Structure 1
Amino acid sequence: MRLTMIHAALMAVSLLFTSTAADAQPKGARVKVNGMQVYYEVSGKGEPLVVLHGAYMNIPTMGAIIPKLAKTHKVYALEFQGHGRTTDIDRPITYQNLADDVAAFMDAVGLKKADVFGYSMGSAAGLQLAIRHPEKVNKLVAASVAYDIQGWQPEFREFIPKMTVEMFLEMPFAKEYPKLAANPKGFPELVKKLIQLEKEPMAWEKDVKALKTPVLIITGDADVATLEHSVAMFRLLGGGGPGEMGKPLSPSRLAVMPATAHTAVISQSELLHAFIEPFLKGQTPKGFFETP
């Protein structure tokens, strides 16, 4: 009897660890969205969190932040039009189109509403998702985002007209593209669409000001968006006022990563997670005027 109980206990522990390990492994699948076969991976348990990558990226290049978030959330990481394992279609890549794709993806996988974390192009797509489909977004984390093309650094704006397909064919990620791509020869066409995306006006100030969705803006102090623009966006969302002066804090937040250029934002998973997790959980630091 005692051996049976011990055996049963060992089996239960074994199953627990097997289940935990299985849950931790991302499960990949494809779903039809707006004429595309969209590839996505689901990992973790908890409240749903949709993760949106940047331009020329895919799920693997988002790095360690996805498994960190999957420890406390059920993460749905998808790959955008023409990126990673998702097919391309005869349609421009615009932030509005990407946002509509995410909304349709959520419908296709049965997600009525979720938190959203986007980086770079994914953050602008997430912002448009909150603007165009506010009923689908609980909270938005937008890393390296802008709401107006004037918010980009002057040097970057001057560089946009000089962008060519040939220039991007020399980039390291051009050689990596065929390894995952549904169409291994589709990179030049993707580059054409993404260069055109950079020229989008992005005049969304009124839309941002009207948002009711709480937004965490994360920016590097040497990011492609200026610090002034990030602060202006935070103020549009109701932030930037004095705390401890009788008014509640804004539900939106601003976090600045020190000594951080654009591509270094996503590589600092520990710091990113330290910003994202308290925001999604609604936790705020307590000052010494507050009762513990």
Structure 2
Amino acid sequence: MFRAVLVAAMLAATGPALAEDTPAGGRVEVNGMQMYYEVSGSGDPLIVLHGAYMNIPSMGRIIPMLAESHQVYALEFQGHGRTTDIDRPITYPNLAGDVAACMETVGIDKADVFGYSMGAAAGLRLAIDAPEKVGRLVAASAAYDFEGWQPAFKEFIPQMNVEMFLEMPFAAEYRELAADPDGFPALVEKLIALEHEPMAWGEEMKALDIPVLIITGDADVATLEHSVSMFRLLGGGMMGDMGQPLPESRLAVMPATSHTAVINQPGLLHAFIEPFLQGETPKGFFE
């Protein structure tokens, strides 16, 4: 999920996605909006979900890297990028429902999912609400409970207001792709409201029966303790080399990495994501 102020520098620094083949763009009607998506690569389907205030280009090089071995469907959420906004709040259940509806419309019964920030939380919610649609889930910079945020971020949420976001670089960049170039203030209001939405998904996370790769920076917006807690809810944290197979879920911590620096390291991200999606496990001495 998005951490608003934190993404400003990252959005300015992240270049457009580069690929040998130009992705095929399209729009589908989803829950009253025109949702924009791009398809690239070939192979098993992989849904890619961006963070708040972001779009497909600002996800950077990780998309073309993943498209080397997957058919990537990169989506743009309600009011983001080229997707229209509608008279409806932005909530994680709503975002997850939009992804599910888009999958149905384009003919995808089941897919792996990679989400970053707000997109990671939407991916978690999709796995909870429609587990039959998700094969493997990669959740980068996510939380499942409000109490998992860093204290500094929890203290900052009540101070958020529309005006502070209007001065940030992505306010001007929004107009370049937006279906409604003047719709940025309305989007900010909805995303601030999202930060106040209740989030306590512990029991639902514990019930998940799909493999999840949790990726976090060691200086991310969620605490390290929260990421470990998420991993343990998914069955992780056991000792290996004791004759039992490792759990399918995994935890990866990126060193010297803040929230916005996670998506700016596509090589390291890809090195974590690809083996997980392929179901590959490093071999120990006793195997």
TM superposition score normalised by structure 2: 0.93
1:63 has 2:21 as partner: no
Shift, 1:247, TM fit = 1.8
Q: Judge conservation of contact 1:23–1:44 (CA < 8 Å) in 2.
A: no
Shift, 1:201, TM fit = 1.7
Residue 17 of structure 1 corresponds to which residue in structure 2? none
Q: Quick one: distance in 1 between partners of 2:226 and 2:175?
A: 36
Residue 85 of structure 1 corresponds to which residue in structure 2? 82
In structure 1, which of residues 3, 22, 25 is the aligned counterpart of residue 22 of structure 2?
25
Residue 100 of structure 2 corresponds to which residue in structure 1? 103
Q: Quick one: distance in 1 between partners of 2:45 and 2:21?
A: 15
Q: Quick one: distance in 2 between partners of 1:144 and 1:53?
A: 11
Q: Quick one: distance in 1 between partners of 2:229 and 2:154?
A: 18
Task: Tell me which stretches of 4 or more aligned residues in structure 1 moved more than 3 Å.
Answer: none
1:231 has 2:228 as partner: yes
Q: Judge conservation of contact 1:219–1:230 (CA < 8 Å) in 2.
A: yes
In structure 2, which of residues 26, 35, 38 is the aligned counterpart of residue 38 of structure 1?
35
Aligned partner of residue 140 in structure 1, secondary structure: strand
Q: Quick one: distance in 1 between partners of 2:91 and 2:129?
A: 13
Shift, 1:200, TM fit = 1.4
What is the correspondence of 1:7-22 to structure 2 with a 5 Å cutoff? Answer: none
Structure ranking higher in helix proportion: 1
Residue 167 of structure 1 corresponds to which residue in structure 2? 164
Q: Quick one: distance in 2 between partners of 1:232 and 1:245?
A: 22
In structure 2, which of residues 177, 180, 184 is the aligned counterpart of residue 180 of structure 1?
177
Quick one: which amino acid aligns to residue 198 of structure 1? E
Aligned partner of residue 38 in structure 1, secondary structure: strand
Q: Judge conservation of contact 1:23–1:43 (CA < 8 Å) in 2.
A: no
Q: Judge conservation of contact 1:118–1:126 (CA < 8 Å) in 2.
A: yes
In structure 2, which of residues 142, 146, 160 is the aligned counterpart of residue 145 of structure 1?
142
TM superposition score normalised by structure 1: 0.91
Quick one: which amino acid aligns to residue 265 of structure 1? V
In structure 2, which of residues 52, 69, 73 is the aligned counterpart of residue 72 of structure 1?
69
1:157 has 2:150 as partner: no
Q: Quick one: distance in 2 between partners of 1:139 and 1:218?
A: 14
Quick one: which amino acid aligns to residue 126 of structure 2? L
In structure 2, which of residues 254, 259, 264 is the aligned counterpart of residue 257 of structure 1?
254
Q: Quick one: distance in 2 between partners of 1:246 and 1:239?
A: 16
Shift, 1:246, TM fit = 2.2
* Deviations, residues 81-129 of structure 1 (Å, cap 9, x unaligned): 0000000000000000000000000000000000000000000000000
Shift, 1:288, TM fit = 1.6
Gaps of 5+ in 1: 1-21
Shift, 1:23, TM fit = 8.0
Q: Which has the higher contact order (CA 8 A, sep 6+)?
A: 2
Residue 16 of structure 1 corresponds to which residue in structure 2? none
Q: Quick one: distance in 1 between partners of 2:23 and 2:268?
A: 23
Q: Quick one: distance in 2 between partners of 1:247 and 1:199?
A: 42
Q: Quick one: distance in 1 between partners of 2:199 and 2:70?
A: 31
Aligned length: 269
Q: Quick one: distance in 2 between partners of 1:23 and 1:144?
A: 28
* Percent identity over paired residues: 76
Which protein has the larger Cα radius of gyration, Structure 1 or Structure 2?
Answer: 1
Quick one: which amino acid aligns to residue 275 of structure 1? F
